[in-house]
Chain A
Amino acid sequence: MLAKTHSLFALTVTAFALETADWKVLAVAAIASQLPDVDTSSSLAGRVLLPLARWLENRFPHRTVTHSVLATGAVALLAWPLRWHSVPVWSALVLGYGCGWFGDVFTKSGVAAFYPLSSARLVIPANPRLRLATGSRAEFVVCGALLLAFFWSLHLNTNGGLLRSFNLWLAQPEGVAALFARESTRHQILAHLEGRLVTSARLVKEDVEVLEVEGERLLVRDARGQRFWAGHTQSCPNCHLDIHRVQARLGAPVVIETRELHWQEEELQTVIGGWWPVDGKDAPPTTDHQPPATVFLSGELTLRDADGLRLPTSWQQFNPVEVVGNPDEWTRVRTLRLRAATPADIAPLHRYFGSGHLVVRIIRGGNP
């Protein structure tokens, strides 16, 4: 098998196995794939390591001692200290070496893979007519196929890997949920969504931000700031948006900070006002020299004298603040449940007294 075929085979396998497009890792695999051929001085590796090649070719037939499972194990052991520097580089070295000789299994002569236990040659397939002859036209076809597979693996790996691309292709909420679970602490999760509003049956086709995930349903926010539960209505009867297709992608990097607020019998404005101006806008930073932040509040509020409180509710979109249970006639206490509510959502509550327990999620970075 030609040196370039060895390299392409090793590059493709390494790129897929390690899910990497790092040129340093891939270069190590490509170089390592040449090493098994050090047993002949006519090879590239043999010319570079001529004394070793001369020593080996005087003692062993081609494709025996260096083309074996044992040799691969020896390389893995000898290169073990590399793991302290970089595990992917070590893995690429071992994979590259293994691929270097395993490719020859598909050639007419095969390799003595189990040397020195057996000198029998491992071949695939058994019929020699179907195996590759070095430099043959069939080998060039294989080279071409490997080149295509390698570029495809690079494309996949630079776009988040095989699973991510598979999810993009499926375009279902489960894929978005998987990406959200993996990346939402580091990146804003954006999605292109196609579906239908459940109440009005209006077709929706737009870019949204994924705020939360619950099972297979997604809490999304569109460009107008409206929030919806989106999912398949068969599994999510309360969803506002029936998803046909949804493809997620990573947005800008974010830093997320979470705090908890507890208070008893205080005016909400006093509690919240210590955090950000109560002008009804999403919160600016509480400390100087920090980028703008988006704030989401979740938790429960118990407000006194709130029998006159009227909150806007909608059947068509997500209600971040909801009244829980019936108001107490005597004390006029109302319990509110907040979920992914913005400071603007609770602006009407600022003058009320009461108790509360809120989890505040402050997201810095991203595009508000």
Chain B
Amino acid sequence: MGKSHLARSVAEALRQSSVHVALVMPSTPKQTVLDIATQLGVVVVNDDGKQLTQAQLQADIAAFLFQQPAVLLIDDAHRLPVSLRVWLEQLLARGQPLALFATHPPRKDIFLKLPRLELKPLAHAQIRALMRAAADEQTLALSPGKLASLQERAGGNPMLARRVLDEERLGLEETAPDHTQWIDGTPLLIAGLLVLSAIRFIGRGLHQTDLYLLGGILAVAVGIVRLLLASLPRKSNHLGK
């Protein structure tokens, strides 16, 4: 289950329990506030039929929530602008129930003040089941071997699992996976190679000049490899080449 799926499920469950819910995804600040107001049933126009300003909407929503309990659910909350985060923080201080669903949220303001629930990557079996279902939906006939191969590009992320299937359906070239479950093995490799430097000391201890010299050369070689690896371009935050 991904965060968006969780947000929708929570909203659905609350609605079924007759709790007033607003589930929005951030767009522009005004539009976001407008979405919340609309879902809560707050009037968004004045007596002249003119749409309220963002500040007026925020004030009206706050007044509405003061009178009538409702839950605010915000998906993709990592995209919330500072102005809305500050407003939500004020609502939270008043005891407003709200839940933010975010990918890698920043370690600051409202995100620090809310209890945190981290979604673990889905298990292999769950991702496989999701991919099978998505493949069936798209009438894609995929062998277990092909699914196993596609699954390695999804990691434990259900959104990526569906995207990988879309890419397969469209016959697109395989790209580097976009999931975030990586371990950079470069330090391990360097550490492993550095062990070779010990040969130098073994040679010295055993008074073996050849071993000592070879160990010295290897130590220099490892140093060069280390420098070269350190000078490689860093991983980009942008997609594609």
> Are A120 and B181 neighbours in the complex by a CB distance under 8 Å?
yes
Q: Is A208 located at the chain interface by the 8 A CB criterion?
A: no
A-B CB contacts (within 8 Å), total count: 122
The interface residues of chain B lying within 8 Å CB-to-CB of A53 are: 145
> Are A126 and B148 neighbours in the complex by a CB distance under 8 Å?
no
From B127, B211, B233, A129 is in contact (CB under 8 Å) with B233
Stretch at the interface among A20-28, A57-65, A137-145: A57-65
Q: For the complex, give the distance between the alpha carbons of A54 and B156 in Å.
A: 22
The interface residues of chain A lying within 8 Å CB-to-CB of B214 are: 162-163, 166
> Are B186 and A119 neighbours in the complex by a CB distance under 8 Å?
no
> Are A125 and B148 neighbours in the complex by a CB distance under 8 Å?
no
Stretch at the interface among A108-116, A270-278, A292-300, A318-326: A108-116
Stretch at the interface among A170-178, A198-206, A347-355: A170-178
Please, which residue of chain A has its CB at the minimum distance from the CB of B217? A166
The interface residues of chain A lying within 8 Å CB-to-CB of B209 are: 172, 174
> Are A125 and B145 neighbours in the complex by a CB distance under 8 Å?
no
Q: Is A40 located at the chain interface by the 8 A CB criterion?
A: yes
Please, which residue of chain B has its CB at the minimum distance from the CB of A162? B214
Q: For the complex, give the distance between the alpha carbons of A137 and B138 in Å.
A: 33
Q: Is A167 located at the chain interface by the 8 A CB criterion?
A: yes
Q: Is B235 located at the chain interface by the 8 A CB criterion?
A: yes
> Are B176 and A126 neighbours in the complex by a CB distance under 8 Å?
no
Q: Is A240 located at the chain interface by the 8 A CB criterion?
A: no
> Are A125 and B232 neighbours in the complex by a CB distance under 8 Å?
yes
Report A43-70 residues with CB < 8 Å from chain B CB.
Answer: 46, 53-54, 56-64
Q: Is B144 located at the chain interface by the 8 A CB criterion?
A: yes
Binary contact track A70-88/B, C-beta < 8 Å → 1, others 0 = 0000000000000000000
Binary contact track A115-133/B, C-beta < 8 Å → 1, others 0 = 0001111111111111101
From B147, B176, B183, B208, A178 is in contact (CB under 8 Å) with B208
Q: For the complex, give the distance between the alpha carbons of A109 and B181 in Å.
A: 11
In this complex, how many residues of chain A approach chain B with their Cβ under 8 Å: the count is 46
The interface residues of chain B lying within 8 Å CB-to-CB of A128 are: 176-177, 235
Q: For the complex, give the distance between the alpha carbons of A31 and B241 in Å.
A: 35
> Are B235 and A126 neighbours in the complex by a CB distance under 8 Å?
yes
Q: Is B95 located at the chain interface by the 8 A CB criterion?
A: no
From A60, A105, A170, B210 is in contact (CB under 8 Å) with A170
> Are B183 and A120 neighbours in the complex by a CB distance under 8 Å?
yes
> Are A129 and B236 neighbours in the complex by a CB distance under 8 Å?
yes
Binary contact track B21-35/A, C-beta < 8 Å → 1, others 0 = 000000000000000
> Are B121 and A125 neighbours in the complex by a CB distance under 8 Å?
no
Q: For the complex, give the distance between the alpha carbons of A57 and B146 in Å.
A: 9
Q: Is B115 located at the chain interface by the 8 A CB criterion?
A: no
- 22 interchain pairs, CB-CB under 8 A: A40-B145, A42-B149, A56-B148, A59-B125, A61-B148, A61-B154, A64-B152, A108-B177, A109-B152, A109-B176, A118-B181, A121-B177, A121-B181, A121-B182, A124-B185, A124-B189, A128-B235, A130-B233, A131-B176, A163-B211, A174-B210, A175-B210
Residues of A bordering B, CB below 8 Å: 39-42, 46, 53-54, 56-64, 105, 108-110, 113-114, 118-131, 133, 162-163, 166-167, 170, 172, 174-175, 178
Residues of B bordering A, CB below 8 Å: 121, 124-125, 127-128, 143-145, 147-149, 151-156, 174-177, 181-186, 188-189, 208-211, 213-214, 229, 232-236, 241
Q: Which 4 pairs from chain A and chain B are nearest by CB?
A: A128-B176, A61-B151, A174-B209, A126-B184
